[in-house]
Amino acid sequence: MIDVEDLIALVRNYNPRTNKDLIRRAYDYGRRMHEGQKRRSGEDYFTHPAAVAAILTEQRLDDATIVTALLHDTIEDTKSTYSEIAEKFGAEIAELVDGVTKLTNLQLSSTENKQSENFRKLFMAMSKDLRVILVKLADRLHNMRTIKSLPPEKQARKARETMDVFAPLAGRMGMQWMREELEDLSFKVLNPEARSSIIRRYVLLQNETGDVIHKITADIRSELEREGIEADVFGRAKKPYSIWRKMQEKRLAFSRLSDIYGFRVIAQSEADCYRILGVIHRRWRAVPGRFKDYISQPKSNGYRSIHTTVSGRDGKRVEVQIRTRQMHEVAESGVAAHWSYRDGKRAENPFAVDPARWIASLTERFDTGDDNDDFLENVKLEMYSDQVFCFTPKGDVVQLPKGATPLDFAYSIHTRIGNSTVGAKVDGIRVPLWTRLKNGQSVEIITATGQRPQATWIDIVVTGRAKSAIRRSLREEDRERFIKLGQELARVAFEHIDRKVTDKALRTAAKTLGLPDEKEVLARLGSAELSASEVIEALYPELATRQAVEEVDARRAVLGLTADQSFRRANCCQPVPGERIVGITYRGQGVVVHAIDCPALAEFEDQPARWVDLHWHSGRHAPVYTVSLNLTIANDAGVLGRICTLIGLQKANISDLTFVDRKPDFYRLIVEVDLRDAEHLHMVLTALEAESDVAQVERYRDLSRKP
């Protein structure tokens, strides 16, 4: 356990004017309160608060935060009280300790609806004083470093919670080092075999190529010295989880993954950052599409740096980050840099973000009164997003998450503009509304009076703000239509179980489901946010099974058509029940149903009158929906027979099979399989992926096939 004098020495390294007596009193008080308590490892419990305080000294934080770390478990785990801490250490520290206690009591890995409410509480606590979450993050980091003493099931739960909540939150706050360590510690628990494999392969690569990091660092230093530029150069291999994630995202083997090294150049000035960029690009070839200038367009948490990826020695891709010393301090501490001390004074870093403004920008869109699911979705989108910066026609900067579309851009300006959007121009060229925006593009939104959001927009936008606004508008505009449709769906569902749908029954269902009234039940039924089986189960649990097994007539599987309209599935995308769909009308041919992400829909962008908002019936569907699968299998005796048997075991029928490519070592074939729904498709794909003789399997979509 770290001694109190050693802890004070760590604080004095950056804050010579620290209140040594305050830290000593807090240390002695915390140790006395926790006396006799042990951790799972058998160590004295107070080793944990002391270690958390030491972690926070790495961020050069103020005395109040260090003392809070020493006391953060006293209210929860000892006889200490809020009033006693306030009396001994002051109201500020008592408030911080109380805030950490409340965060500790949140069960962030519980069920979705409960989790969303806990996220609300988390962000409310953060909004009062961000230092509360800094202590909680350090607390979680030390717990993850010492997690081996916990039972395996608790290790897994804590690791998943860390991966889902605390690691992305640390990243969102700009504390990238902490995010990487939390992710890697969680990865070690959740997938130890994969992590060990990555480490073994990296060691093998080092043995084959030598110390690449030292060589490239020396190369960069040599180039900078030749140009007379003073700068510090550091290199490192990326964390195992970071490498694993890239392998999964890019579907590459380790041997084909190139940018596993990262280098950082710390410059004397902002002007030198751009000079260094020029030197690196002259010496090595830049990789297109891998350049980001966060100096001219900083992130909302204050992060500033230039990122570029170049082909270095032996064609190896390496990422280089270029920043000044002050930028580096913010990059290491993120929003926490606001409290950093140097030489006994609060560090005057021009790049440190005001925490109050940062938390306000993060939470302002969560106060709209949307339901818990919307809130949880919004928070997670915000925490996991990278960013792009685009411009309005007047030159104003709009900050959006990676993957954002012109619709997201429109809603970020104002909900009224988003709701009335009919088109967009990017860099002066008309583009579809689902176009993914890139850094530096100029976006012009075209609006029209009377235009209203369409249901398909939900799947186009990526920001929580846009999704909430669209859902809210759709609910308001279509509420009456949805209520009428919901009445019909409820009537049919109740008839199936020999019951009559009454206002009283619906009011009871509303109460059980946590909805305000019977009209809300009907509206959600009609908008497919609630299924008829859920309503039946809420009222008659014993009859839910009977309701669930009712099979949908394939001729009436799609809802949203008029009485005289027929439908057929598009051959290009082959949508199945459970997937988001949209219809395109053809004169004399009825409605062709497409998956919402079908590229073939692009040709109908300028024909909105032909689009029909559709969704699948909520019941159980028959296995009559043909889907094409693209399989690559080993060319060996009995393999094809085993594959066919495997598909049959999933209760799926093979309706056709075509060999596309025959090689001495493998076959590639297209298999037509009749399925019930998206879940059935997932079962078949999972079973095939697990088969050792299947090299690759994916859903096959052929745009050359006519709808």
Q: pLDDT of 464-487, one tens digit each?
A: 788 888 888 877 776 777 788 788
The whole-number average pLDDT for the span 78-83 is 91
DSSP 574-641: ---TTS-EEEEEETTTEEEEEETT-GGGGGGTT-GGGEEEEEE-SSEEPS-EEEEEEEEEE--TTHHH
Nearest residue to 618 via CA among 549, 694, 546: 549
The continuous run of DSSP H or E covering 114 comes out as: helix 112-128
Q: Are 159 and 190 in contact (CB under 8 A)?
A: yes
Q: Are 470 and 453 in contact (CB under 8 A)?
A: yes
Nearest residue to 161 via CA among 133, 190, 191: 190
Give the pLDDT confidence score for residue 445 in this predicted structure: 94
Q: Which stretch of 57-61, 398-402, 407-411, 547-551 has the lowest confidence by average pLDDT? A: 547-551
User: How many angstroms separate the CA atoms of 168 and 180, rounded?
Assistant: 9
Q: How far is CA 628 from CA 150, 269, 581, 655, in A?
A: 46, 57, 18, 10
Name the 3-class secondary structure at 430. Answer: strand
686, pLDDT greater than 70: yes
Give the pLDDT confidence score for residue 100 in this predicted structure: 86
- Assign a CATH topology to domain 4-187: Hypothetical protein af1432 (1.10.3210)
**705 dihedral zone (left: phi>0; alpha: psi -120 to 50; beta):** beta
Higher pLDDT, residue 493 or 548: 493
**What is the set of active-site residues?**
76-77
Q: How confident is the model at residue 553 (pLDDT cuts 50, 70, 90)?
A: confident
The whole-number average pLDDT for the span 215-240 is 89
- Hey, what are 334's tokens? 């993120």
Q: How confident is the model at residue 25 (pLDDT cuts 50, 70, 90)?
A: very high
The amino acid present at 82, given as its one-letter code, is Y
User: How many angstroms separate the CA atoms of 220 and 232, rounded?
Assistant: 10
Give the pLDDT confidence score for residue 120 in this predicted structure: 58
Give the pLDDT confidence score for residue 311 in this predicted structure: 80
User: How many angstroms separate the CA atoms of 433 and 237, rounded?
Assistant: 39
Q: How confident is the model at residue 689 (pLDDT cuts 50, 70, 90)?
A: confident
What is the torsional sign of CA 401, 406, 411, 414?
positive
User: How many angstroms separate the CA atoms of 254 and 476, rounded?
Assistant: 51
Q: What is the architecture of the domain spanning 194-346? A: 2-Layer Sandwich (3.30)
- Assign a CATH topology to domain 387-462: Ubiquitin-like (UB roll) (3.10.20)
The whole-number average pLDDT for the span 106-126 is 54
Higher pLDDT, residue 325 or 550: 325
Q: How confident is the model at residue 122 (pLDDT cuts 50, 70, 90)?
A: low
pLDDT tens by residue, 573-621? 999 998 999 999 987 778 999 998 888 888 888 888 888 889 898 778 8
Phi, psi of 85 (to 5 degrees): -65, -40
- The b-or-e profile of 190-207 (16+ CB within 10 A means b, else e) is bbeebbeebeebbeeeee
User: How many angstroms separate the CA atoms of 687 and 105, rounded?
Assistant: 40
Burial status of residue 144 (CB atoms within 10 A of its CB: 0-12, 13-18, 19 or more): buried
The continuous run of DSSP H or E covering 391 comes out as: strand 387-391
210, pLDDT greater than 70: no
Q: Where are the domains of the chain?
A: 4-187, 194-346, 387-462, 475-549, 563-707
Q: How confident is the model at residue 221 (pLDDT cuts 50, 70, 90)?
A: very high
The whole-number average pLDDT for the span 450-474 is 83
The side-by-side arrangement of strands in the sheet containing 429-431 is 429-431, 421-426, 443-447
The amino acid present at 365, given as its one-letter code, is R
Higher pLDDT, residue 508 or 336: 508
Summary mean pLDDT of the chain = 82
CATH class for the region spanning 563-707? alpha beta
Name the 3-class secondary structure at 198. Answer: helix
The pTM is what?
0.53
Residue tagged 């006799």 (tokens): 36
Q: How confident is the model at residue 142 (pLDDT cuts 50, 70, 90)?
A: very high
pLDDT tens by residue, 350-397? 655 555 565 555 555 444 444 445 545 555 545 545 567 788 888 777
- Distant-in-sequence, close-in-space partners of 629: CB < 8 Å, separation ≥ 6: 670, 671, 672, 673, 684, 685, 688, 697, 698, 699, 700
pLDDT tens by residue, 403-439? 889 999 999 889 899 999 999 999 888 888 989 888 7
Give the pLDDT confidence score for residue 546 in this predicted structure: 46
Q: Are 560 and 566 in contact (CB under 8 A)?
A: no
163, pLDDT greater than 70: yes
Highest mean pLDDT among 290-304, 324-338, 554-568: 554-568
DSSP 481-542: HHHHHHHHHHHHHHHHTT----HHHHHHHHHHHT-SSHHHHHHHHHTTSS-HHHHHHHH-GG
123, pLDDT greater than 70: no
Q: Which stretch of 49-58, 97-106, 212-221, 285-294 has the lowest confidence by average pLDDT? A: 97-106
% residues pLDDT > 90 (the chain): 27
